[in-house]
Amino acid sequence: MSDPAPAREPTKRARLRTRRPAWRLFDEKLRGHRAKNVWQTLMATVTKLNDLLLLDLVK
């Protein structure tokens, strides 16, 4: 009865998970055909909020 992976040695997935920061993992999950849409939506929202704030400051 031999273990394929010893308990003290983490698996490749665990090693990758511990080495990567959370934002990197999130970035990889978003990557794909939806990543561009998410990024564009985010930037459009930020731009709109920025414009509203600037309009409030100008008034």
What is the reported pTM?
Answer: 0.35
Cα 50 from Cα 56, distance rounded (Å): 10
> How high is the pLDDT of residue 42?
87
Measured in degrees and rounded to the nearest 5, phi and psi for residue 8 equal -80, -20
Token pair of 18, please?
Answer: 């511990």
Helices 35-58 and 22-30, interaxial angle, to 10°?
110
> How high is the pLDDT of residue 16?
58
Segments in the chain below pLDDT 70: 1-35, 59
> How high is the pLDDT of residue 56?
78
> How high is the pLDDT of residue 39?
79
Alpha-carbon 27 to chain mean position: 3
